[in-house]
């Protein structure tokens, strides 16, 4: 396995590459590099090598299903290609990786266009963390000439809100940054919330950056519509058969140096689950759906029937 592939895995683990869509595309890129640089002498060696890379990538972060979904998309054709030569196998991985990256980038653009239809002139929007899909909705609406404003939460502990405020203000959107705990204070000034997703479960629950569910609860209380913007590959196939989405818990040092608080436990879960009752709609590249449609969407996307095993 070449260093470049190991580096991409490491960059995902350390969050140098972050955000569900980006890590999916980075994983596809890593598989493409692995296929191109493989020194395997036989097809079975090649397949084993791709398998190792796939497992390494999937193990980097547990919550965003975009990562295993991207990997599966790229490698899935190999299983039926036993007997094919290395040149053919290499071509398949490269073209599937390119297809994933292209489709994924295009989905963000389309989500921006579809989502912007739900944004009105004068809207004040709130977003959390840094989601390319959520920002695509806000930026597209603004580019269409709608006079909108945005509130962005800081998103502790990693402060991805900094990335969002830079991106939105660069695009010209009047942007206000607030600390995460100020959401309820400002919700009265907001009339729509738009966030992204790392995974969407079959029951329509959305897993996204820690704090998302608090914002949804606050929006629900204040009767502010709550939108989720996410590509189809953020729907989690395992949840069709009862798997739970693993919530990543990261190093407490991302919050504070634990040495300053001896004998104190510091916990750092980085995602949470927003129940479907608090979500008004999910904006995908295939159109807008209510969270209750997640099951049907998943079934169609993974061509799955009840009772079947999921591979």
- Sites of contact with ligand RUB (CB under 6 A): 18-21, 64, 129, 131-133, 160, 196-198, 208-209, 270
At residue 67, φ and ψ (nearest 5 deg) are -70, -60
Question: Which residue number has the CB closest to ligand RUB?
Answer: 196
Per annotation, catalytic residue among 129, 133, 180, 280:
129
Encoded tokens for 82: 């036993």
Residue placing its CB nearer to ligand RUB in the complex, 38 or 239: 239
Please name the residues in contact with 68: beta carbons below 8 A apart, sequence gap of 6 or more: 58
Minimum CB distance to ligand RUB, residue 289 (Å): 16
Whether residue 198 lies in the annotated active site: yes
Residue placing its CB nearer to ligand RUB in the complex, 47 or 152: 152
Per annotation, catalytic residue among 123, 180, 198, 280:
198
Minimum CB distance to ligand RUB, residue 254 (Å): 10
Structural element, H or E, at residue 255: none
Report how far apart, in Å, the C-alpha atoms of 122 and of each of 138, 149, 283 are: 12, 8, 20
Minimum CB distance to ligand RUB, residue 43 (Å): 34
Residue placing its CB nearer to ligand RUB in the complex, 20 or 53: 20
Distance of alpha carbon 26 from alpha carbon 32, whole angstroms: 10
Report how far apart, in Å, the C-alpha atoms of 83 and of each of 38, 44, 79, 87, 88 are: 18, 9, 10, 12, 10
Residue placing its CB nearer to ligand RUB in the complex, 168 or 197: 197
Minimum CB distance to ligand RUB, residue 139 (Å): 13
Residue placing its CB nearer to ligand RUB in the complex, 77 or 250: 250
Minimum CB distance to ligand RUB, residue 165 (Å): 14
Helix 43-58 / helix 20-37 crossing angle, nearest 10 deg: 160
User: What is the DSSP code string of 136-197?
Assistant: HHHHHHHHTT---EEEEE--TTTTTHHHHHHHHHHTT--EEEE-GGGHHHHGGG-SEEEE--
User: Do 236 and 199 meet the contact criterion of CB atoms below 8 Å apart?
Assistant: yes
What positions carry a catalytic annotation?
A: 129, 198
């Amino acid at each position: 396995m070449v260093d470049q592939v190991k580096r991409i895995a490491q960059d995902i683990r350390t969050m140098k590459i972050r955000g569900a869509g980006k890590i999916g595309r980075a994983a596809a890129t890593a598989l493409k590099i692995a296929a191109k640089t493989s020194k395997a002498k036989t097809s079975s060696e090649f397949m084993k090598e791709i398998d190792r890379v796939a497992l390494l990538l999937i193990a980097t972060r547990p919550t965003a299903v975009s990562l295993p979904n991207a990997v599966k998309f790229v490698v899935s054709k190999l299983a039926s290609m036993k007997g094919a030569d290395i040149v053919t196998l290499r071509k398949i991985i490269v073209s599937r990786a390119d297809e994933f990256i292209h489709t994924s980038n295009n989905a963000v653009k389309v989500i921006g266009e579809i989502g912007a239809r739900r944004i009105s002139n004068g809207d004040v929007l709130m977003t959390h963390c840094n989601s390319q899909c959520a920002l695509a909705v806000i930026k597209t609406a603004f580019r269409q000439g709608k006079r909108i404003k945005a509130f962005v939460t800081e998103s502790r502990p990693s402060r991805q809100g900094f990335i969002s405020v830079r991106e939105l203000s660069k695009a010209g959107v009047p942007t206000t940054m607030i600390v995460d705990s100020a959401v309820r204070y400002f919700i009265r000034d907001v009339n729509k919330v738009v966030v992204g997703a790392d995974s969407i479960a079959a029951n329509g629950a959305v897993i996204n950056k820690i704090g998302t569910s608090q914002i949804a609860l606050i929006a629900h209380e204040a009767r502010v519509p709550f939108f989720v913007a996410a590509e189809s590959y953020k729907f989690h196939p395992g949840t069709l058969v009862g798997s739970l989405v693993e919530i990543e818990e990261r190093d407490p040092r991302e919050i504070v140096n634990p040495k300053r608080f001896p004998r104190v436990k510091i916990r750092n879960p980085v995602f949470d689950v927003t129940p479907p009752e608090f979500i008004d709609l999910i904006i995908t590249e295939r159109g807008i759906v209510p969270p209750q449609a997640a099951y049907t969407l998943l079934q169609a996307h993974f061509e799955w029937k009840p009772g079947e095993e999921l591979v």
